[in-house]
A and B are shown apart, each in its own frame.
Chain A
Amino acid sequence: MHAGIIFFLVILGSVLFHIFTPWYWTDIASNWGSMDDTITLTFWIGGGVFVAVCLFMVYCVFKFSYKEGRKAEYKPEDKKLERILTWATTLGVAALLAPGLIVWNQYVNVPKNALEIDVMAWQWGWQYRLPGEDGKLGTTKIVNINDNNPFGINLEDSNGKDDVMIQSDVINLKNNRPVKILLRSVDVLHNWYVPQFRAKMDAVPGVVTYYWFEPNKVGKYEVLCAEYCGVGHYAMRGGVIVQSEQDYENWLQGQQTFSELIVKQKKIELNETKLVKK
């Protein structure tokens, strides 16, 4: 009896905890509200099953606890009941799966107007690269990376010349403009994850992975690494600043492109050689 009451309280407590929890989603700041919706749907169906199964169990504990002399029912099978339960479950599962797949379809198909951003990860930090006026990112190679070419852009690729380089772990994004995050890593696995955007994907060395989202709320957000990448994993943070169009353009003006960097470096080298000559 006591056991039944405690189990009942556990179920009740779970439901109440869910309703009154102060810990829940951060306010969403991207287009992936549909993910939240599928989670809510799963909560309703799954939570309903959980409560129903557990309450049925508690009922059995109350009703059928041991009594000397009473005989349990002898019924090895009930084909009809089993069939009904199978189909009902299948239906429930299909109802969960279908919306999930629809949202996933949106997730893997990037809109055409998305701005491509190269997110480069290493142990333990981030930096970003935006396409220049041509709207195309230059190709890269890890072996090209050095102090003069922090992103490893292929020098013969003309698309790379006007790429905007942001050698900081904070990136600015334009509000309501879809972005396609192109992830690459120079050493181990990483994952560029902003909880408010909901979306995430691993950065894998050797390949370029992608995902997309559309920020829709101006503000500052924290980037977390969500794939274990060694001792510094927990400290591998970055930032995102979502801005209105005007602010974004102003910020973009202040960033330097790859060719600017090359010119600057050449000037420094020239100065150095001059100094040596003097």
Chain B
Amino acid sequence: MSEDFKDSKAIQAQSSETISSGAGSSSPDLDYVRPAEVGDQDLYHGHSFITKWVFCQDAKVIGVQYFCLATFTGIIGLILSWLMRLQLGYPEAAGFMTAEHYYQFVTMHGMIMVVYFLTALFLGGFGNYLIPLMVGARDMVFPYLNMVSFWMFFVAVGVLLASFFVPGGPTGSGWTLYPPQAILEGTPGSGMGIILMCVSLILFVAGFTMGGLNYLITVLQARTRGMTLMRMPLTVWGIFTATVLAMLAFPALLVGSLMMMLDKLLGTSFFMPTILKAGEVLEYGGGSPILFQHLFWFFGHPEVYIVALPAFGIISDLISVHSRKNIFGYRMMVWAIVIIGALSFFVWAHHMYVSGMNPWFGFFFATTTLIIAVPTAMKVYNWILTLWRGNIRMNTVMLWCLGFIVTFVNGGITGIFLGNVSVDVPLSDTYFVIAHFHMVMGIAPLMVIMGAVYHWFPLVTGKFLSEKLGKWHFWLTFLGAYSIYFPMHYLGFIGVPRRYFEMYDSPYMTSAVGMNEFISTAAFIVGAAQFILIYNIIKSLKIGKAAGKNPWQANSLEWLTPTVPPEHGNWGDRLPVVHRWAYDYSVPGAKEDFITQTTPPSEVTDSKVEKT
């Protein structure tokens, strides 16, 4: 196997030995950066199709693999949402759909979108691709583990999709999987469906842990010379903090899934109290259904931020690059990410205000929840203050950013409704909740993903995506999605409960029939509009405009690789040396409106750059 390594010379253990590399390591001049602490990483270079593209150990390939598989499951989730909307808007056209089907689609749509699409895409996709490049590493620190992580995810998706084909179908217990109903007759897929769901989640957690360890150690221990934590792009900060949350929150999901599986398979009663069903008392007793809710939401709330924090980070970078202006209040942005992440572990029970838990918890969790609004609001202010007095390129990437700000602020503010305990009482379990979380953790992160795709596509492929198609894609998605979810809040005010297969003819619900038809129509259009992106990608890969090096004139390291797209090992012979933060745009006195992170101070002595 050793012939797979370019340099077969022994590399010193990276423990305590120091290796100095690069010129100028001893000169006391302006551009001095400490020598490298650890030796260069030795990488396994695949040379067959299998080792290069399938079981590949290159984080960039793994990132693209994650991206593609997550997108694939996301499209399944999208199709499920179409079917749901068909039933809600035009039930007469959805005659083939029974209530069982409907609830199965709701459940699988929710679980796929939250866990297998958004989490995998942000952390597995963008995390793998961007972290090593942005911190100046050759690869993730444990490439083999990283590869296993992806294939675990692959198996998890396989198990999840397999549940569509087992007797009884996939679980239809809602994405929250609340027991007792998740494992009792009366809920679709209460047999094999729920078991496969639990197995799939456990596999996902195991796989994610492997990837997560990689992201964390790469950020903590494998940054390049000069790259301090406070010089990292906010994208890395967002993904890093989200990974920390995931490492601490997923255990609760793992434990909850395992216990529920035992309840189903072995007849234990962790979550099962005495239950009377069809006139017979079941052989369960003494368990607590609310315990599962605590475990689930101890995972579930950080999960929201696992999706949101990478989105925060990426959007900060996109806005900064395309406004040609530094991100306003970088340090506050970093601290806000960290504080939001820490607080997210103390707010989980705001999902349970009316769950029957001790109502006195409501005071505590309402307070912590509203405290989290402060750092979040600060981030919003800093985004719009970055636009202020910038030089804003109104391209597709910026449009997605602006769309993100509108939808995120909208969804964030409805979050204040739901977090404030007594306001939540009339609104919880209604369509208001659906509108809120789709706006804030569905559409807003989607805007970021799309912006990021248009932004980094030239890096990954060397070609630009078509701007014209991109603008069509954006406006259809943004206007369509906004007109789905903004009116949907008002269904919640009327009092329409969630997860209703049919509305029947309650007076306040009949008034909403027209709105449901409108929302469904918009949903079909928005869903279809996403295929513009796929067409755009295929077309641009073939005949797209060549991008060349650093097409956006950005500062951060991922654009500064010797080859575009970057090769395995990223940096050619020598690792980059970092002299500044990633946001020196439009510095007074500088020749150009950007100063890359690798530009040494001696080259920009005339400019009034602030020390970072």
Contacts and interface: CB of A to CB of B under 8 A. Distances in A.
Chain A–chain B contact at Cβ < 8 A: yes
Given A39-B417, A70-B391, A202-B355, A228 B374 contact: no
B432 to A, nearest CB: 10
Nearest to B327: A76
A67 B391 contact: yes
B475 interface: yes
Interface stretch (B309-317, B559-567, B582-590): B582-590
Contacts of B583: 76
Interface stretch (B71-79, B270-278, B521-529): B270-278
A47 B593 contact: no
Contacts of B493: 23-25
A229 B387 CA distance: 47
A133 interface: no
A206 B288 contact: yes
B180 A107 contact: no
Interface stretch (B209-217, B299-307, B328-336, B570-578): B328-336
B150 interface: no
A53 to B, nearest CB: 5
Contacts of B103: 228, 231, 233
A263 interface: no
B405 interface: yes
B26 interface: no
B392 A60 contact: yes
A104 interface: yes
Chain B, interface size category, equals 35 or more
B508 A195 contact: yes
B452 to A, nearest CB: 19
Contacts of B180: 187-189, 205
B275 A187 contact: yes
A276 interface: no
A111 interface: no
A273 B405 CA distance: 77
Contacts of B36: none
A98 to B, nearest CB: 10
A231 B99 contact: yes
B176 to A, nearest CB: 8
Given A23-B512, A23-B515, A76 B355 contact: no
Contacts of A232: 99, 186
A176 B277 CA distance: 37
Contact of B416 (A14, A60, A96): A96
A206 B179 CA distance: 12
Nearest to A195: B495
B289 A206 contact: yes
A205 B417 contact: no
A193 interface: yes
A193 B370 contact: no
Nearest to A143: B281
Interface in B245-267: none
A25 to B, nearest CB: 5
A101 interface: yes
A228 to B, nearest CB: 4
A100 B416 CA distance: 11
B178 A199 contact: no
A89 interface: yes
Contact of A72 (B273, B503, B515, B586): B586
A7 B402 contact: yes
B551 interface: no
B422 A104 contact: yes
Contact of B325 (A73, A96, A195): A73
A130 B37 CA distance: 76
B512 to A, nearest CB: 6
Contact of B426 (A1, A35, A90, A204): A35
Contacts of A202: 354-356
A169 interface: no
A26 interface: yes
A235 B505 CA distance: 11
Contacts of A186: 275-277
Interface string A99-110: 011011101100
A199 B325 contact: no
Interface stretch (A77-85, A154-162, A242-250): A77-85
Interface in A104-123: 104-105, 107-108, 122-123
A218 to B, nearest CB: 17
A76 to B, nearest CB: 5
22 contacts: A14-B486, A26-B494, A32-B426, A34-B422, A35-B422, A53-B405, A64-B387, A66-B324, A76-B583, A77-B328, A85-B378, A85-B381, A96-B416, A142-B276, A143-B274, A145-B276, A202-B355, A205-B275, A226-B497, A229-B186, A230-B186, A232-B186
Interface of A: 1, 3, 6-7, 10-11, 14, 17, 21-26, 32, 34-36, 38-39, 42, 46-47, 49-50, 53-54, 56-57, 60-61, 64-67, 70-78, 81-82, 85-86, 89-90, 93, 96-97, 100-101, 103-105, 107-108, 122-123, 142-143, 145-146, 183, 186-189, 191, 193, 195-196, 198-207, 209, 222, 224-235, 237
Interface of B: 99-100, 103, 172-174, 178, 180-181, 184, 186-188, 273-277, 279, 281, 287-290, 323-326, 328-332, 354-356, 359-360, 362-363, 366-367, 370-371, 373-374, 377-378, 380-381, 384-385, 387-394, 399, 402, 405-406, 409-410, 413-414, 416-417, 420-423, 425-430, 475, 479, 482, 486-487, 490-491, 493-495, 497-504, 506, 508, 511-512, 515, 583, 585-588, 593, 608, 610, 612
